[in-house]
Amino acid sequence: MKIIVQNKKARHEFAILETFEAGIALKGTEVKSLREGKANLRDAYANIEQGEVILHGLHISPYSHTSERQLDPVRDRKLLMNRAEIRKLIGKVKEKGLTLVALKLYFSPRGIVKVELGLAKGKKLHDKRDAISERDARRDLDRVMKRARQE
């Protein structure tokens, strides 16, 4: 699995309850552009519209070595999931405060572009502070343990 781009801010802004994997329908030279690593997931999220999962806000820069017409870099893209997964998502997204956030974009071992979606609930400011203090405490503990092993 070769990771193209990750949305690191999503794990800070949201509590991820569950993750899903989906294929993504791309056009033209978008895959070549992704192989160059020219993508941005920062504001990417998914909605369920008419029984299909649509990814909004994914920015794929135009491929630099083409003479074809350029596609809209932030166009909506259809995600490829089976019906059972979509039905499961419909039920969960209708719950209060849950959303689908794009966490990572990567190539599968077979070379297919996949997107990892997270079923997320927004964090409050105090939750973010708690997560930061836990991470700092874990880092300090790891540092102490490493020094103890070296002695």
Q: For 96-106, what is the mean pLDDT? A: 87
CA gyration radius for the chain? 18
Q: What is the pLDDT of residues 106-149, one digit of tens each?
A: 999 888 999 999 988 887 777 778 778 888 889 989 898 888 88
Q: What is the pLDDT of residue 103?
A: 92
- Reference 55, options 89, 9, 95, 28; nearest CA is 89
Higher pLDDT among residues 70 and 139, named by residue:
139
Average pLDDT over residues 52-76: 84
| In a domain? residue 27 | yes
Cα end-to-end span (Å), the chain: 38
Q: Is residue 138 in a domain?
A: no
- For residue 55, tell me if it sits in a domain: yes
Residue 129 domain-assigned (yes or no): no
Model confidence over 13-54: pLDDT tens digits? 888 888 999 999 988 888 888 888 888 888 899 988 888 999
Considering the domain boundaries, does residue 135 fall inside one? no
Domain coverage including residue 36: 2-123
Looking at the domain assignment, is residue 146 inside a domain?
no
Domains: count for the chain: 1
Given this model, what pLDDT does residue 54 score?
Answer: 93
C-alpha distances (whole Å) from 37 to each of 1, 23, 47, 111, 116 are: 14, 17, 25, 14, 16
- CATH number of residue 111's parent domain: 2.40.280.10
pLDDT at 135: 85
Answer yes or no: is 80 within a domain. yes
- Determine how β-strand 59-60 pairs with β-strand 77-80: unpaired
Residue 150 belongs to some domain of the structure: no
